[in-house]
Structure 1
Amino acid sequence: MTDAGRRAGGGHAPGAGEDLGNEVEGYLLWRARIAEAEQRAREFTGRMDWLTTGQRDEVERHYVDDSLRRARQDLERIAARCVSLRDEYERRYRGLRARCVGWAVAVCGGAAFVATAVTAVSLSR
């Protein structure tokens, strides 16, 4: 279950299907990354015809482990950046919304003042 599902109080919260879709997509992308790392490891060791089968397997395993470790670090760095950008954009949105509401209140207040003044002037004649 994703963090969003846990925050909502269970796996059947609104948007749970979307969360499941995201999890499946993430799983499939990670499996593709594993397959790519394994293919690259085979290509890497394929040029080393002096390796024994055991040595080849060990080099491939280390190559795959290193590739996946680096891929995970990259994904974690990207995820952290996404979170920081989201926080920054939400903060800016709140500030923009507060300014817009402030201007709307000021304009409405000014319009009400002008309308009251015009009414008062026209009644005093």
Structure 2
Amino acid sequence: MGGRQRPPRARTSRRNGAPDGVGGWVNTRVEIARLEGFLAWEAEVAAAERDARAFAGQFSWLPAAERESLERAYAADRLRYAEEVVDRAVERCRRLAARYRSECRRICARWAALCLSVTLAAALFAVVPALLRG
């Protein structure tokens, strides 16, 4: 089937605008995640092409050129859908990460306030009796 479509929006592992390997260590986890994403996308492309061939094969009465056109249209439609699914999942992950970060900040602020309150209360209980005595 002709050239492959581009995977969903390329994620970058660049730091401060510098390419990988320039001005810092390459983040291995990010690179492994990028490789996994690439392999998953290639598997999706292969599956879309395989399924497109199987679908178009049902229409043996079509001329070969029209069957190939049907294959390309089927595969392109499926890859477009897969890209939308990935983009929705990525957006959902980003929203959840933002929500969890805000919750974490809120909880940390509460703990800090509680610790400060306990420390102030302990200081008052230590100082006030001494002041009252004299």
> TM-score by structure 1 length?
0.86
> Is 1:70 the counterpart of 2:63 in the alignment?
no
> TM-score by structure 2 length?
0.81
Which one scores higher on RCO, CA 8 angstroms, separation ≥ 6?
Answer: 2
CA displacement, residues 14-36 of structure 1 (integer Å, 9 cap, x when unaligned):
56221111111111000000011
8 A contact 2:13–2:31 mirrored in 1: no
8 A contact 1:2–1:19 mirrored in 2: no
- Tell me: CA distance 1:55–1:84, structure 2 relative to 1, closer, same or farther (3 Å): same
**What percentage of residue pairs aligned between the two structures are identical?**
28
What value does the CA root-mean-square deviation take over the aligned residues? 2.1
For structure 2, the 5+ residue unaligned runs are: 1-9
User: Alpha-carbon deviation of 1:5?
Assistant: 2.1
Matches within 5 A, 1:100-115: 100-115=111-126
- Tell me: CA distance 1:88–1:14, structure 2 relative to 1, closer, same or farther (3 Å): farther
Residue 47 (structure 2) aligns with: 36
> Is 1:7 the counterpart of 2:29 in the alignment?
no
- Tell me: CA distance 1:118–1:15, structure 2 relative to 1, closer, same or farther (3 Å): farther
Distance 1:111 1:60 in 2: 75
Specify the SS of the correspondent of 1:93. helix
Bigger fraction of residues in helix? 1
Specify the SS of the correspondent of 2:15. helix
> Is 1:20 the counterpart of 2:20 in the alignment?
no
Q: 1:89 aligns with which of 81, 88, 100?
A: 100
Q: What is the number of equivalent residue pairs in this alignment?
A: 123
